[in-house]
Amino acid sequence: MTFFVIIEGVLAFLLVAGGIFAFNGSLGMLRLEDFYMRLHGPTKGTTLGIGCVLLASMLYFTVTQREFHVQELLITLFLFLTAPVTGHMLAKTGLHMHVRFSPRSRGSLPEFHDEDVGQGRVARPARARHPWRTRKARRSRLRQGETS
Amino acid sequence: MLDTALWICLTLIVLAMALNVYRLAAGPDVPDRLLALDTLYVNSIALIVLLGLRLNTKIYFEAALLIAMLGFVGTMAICRYLLRGDIIE
């Protein structure tokens, strides 16, 4: 009996904490003044909030259905892996598109190349060449060398 | 206690989604809108998980996993398009 009361308390705490964290992340995204400041809220707060909610769901189904339940752990792991990657790509996109800086978020960008901050041209990879085409060209070049 | 906590969490996440929709509509730049869309799908995953808790079923987890993967791929594709002008080079 006490076990279920404790589990219920933990579940309620995790749910409320998850909701507060998710709301906090979205509030930060709404209220902060700059794109680079706004990036902080969703990448940290919302990820932690959804982690709490998924943990609560996992605990609930593990206790009520009396079998270990790991599907939510899969979603949690996936989201925790992809959120930093998304934040990195969004920051690179913002730098590339010259999103307006607020004076309070200005800083040096030592680790970016010129094309990352939009100062230089984007380096394009060389056009892919088909191997059969180069082989044929080399063969024809060899044949011309033989004739001439 | 669990029911009250569930309703509180549901209300907070729906409010968060409303804030995301506001930022999606009023974002001054394209990366702002993209960030709002990214946060919107993460919050929708939380909403679906809470619906599964409320209805006491497990059939919504596949939908949540699908939304997570497709949202990540979509965000990556739009980021690549804005960064390089091409998705697959």
- Alpha-carbon span A116 to A112, nearest angstrom: 6
In tens, the pLDDT along A113-142 reads: 665 555 666 555 555 555 555 666 666 767
Using N-to-C axis directions, what is the helix angle for A2-31 and B2-26, rounded to 10°? 10
Q: Measure CB to CB from residue A53 to each of B31, B50, B58 and give the nearest one.
A: B50
Residues 59-88 of B with CB under 8 A from A: 61, 64-65, 68-69, 72, 75-76, 79-80, 82-85
Q: Do A90 and B61 touch (CB under 8 A)?
A: no
Residues 6-65 of B with CB under 8 A from A: 6, 8-13, 15-17, 19-20, 22-23, 28-32, 34-36, 38-39, 42-43, 45-46, 49-50, 52-53, 56, 58, 61, 64-65
Instruction: Provide the number of CB pairs (under 8 Å) joining chain A to chain B.
Output: 164
Give the pLDDT score at A65. 84
Q: Measure CB to CB from residue B12 to each of A22, A39, A54 and give the nearest one.
A: A22
Q: Measure CB to CB from residue A19 to each of B12, B20, B29 and give the nearest one.
A: B12
Contacts of A7 (CB under 8 A, 6+ apart): A59, A63
Q: Are A61 and A40 in contact (CB under 8 A)?
A: no
Q: Do B42 and A96 touch (CB under 8 A)?
A: no
Give the pLDDT score at A97. 79
Q: Can you say whether residue A130 is alpha, beta or left, with left for phi > 0 and alpha for psi between -120 and 50 degrees?
A: beta
Q: What share of chain B is helix, strand, coil (3-state, %, to 5)?
A: 85, 0, 15
Is A145 a residue whose pLDDT tops 70? no
Give the pLDDT score at A127. 54
| Mean pLDDT for back-to-back runs of 10 residues, chain B (89 residues) | 88 92 88 91 91 87 89 91 79
- Alpha-carbon span B77 to B79, nearest angstrom: 5
Domains (range + CATH), chain B: 2-84 (1.10.287)
Q: Can you say whether residue A28 is alpha, beta or left, with left for phi > 0 and alpha for psi between -120 and 50 degrees?
A: alpha
Q: Where are the beta strands (DSSP E) in B1-89?
A: none
Q: Do B16 and A23 touch (CB under 8 A)?
A: yes
Q: How far is the alpha carbon of B9 from chain A, nearest alpha carbon, in Å? A: 4
Q: How confident is the model at residue A47 (pLDDT cuts 50, 70, 90)?
A: very high
Other CB atoms within a 10 A radius of the CB of residue A28 amount to: 19
Rg (CA), chain B: 16
- Among A54, A56, A68, which residue's Cα sits nearest to residue A8? A56
In tens, the pLDDT along A71-111 reads: 778 888 998 999 999 999 998 888 887 777 776 765 555 55
User: Where do the domains of chain A lie?
Assistant: 2-102+110-121
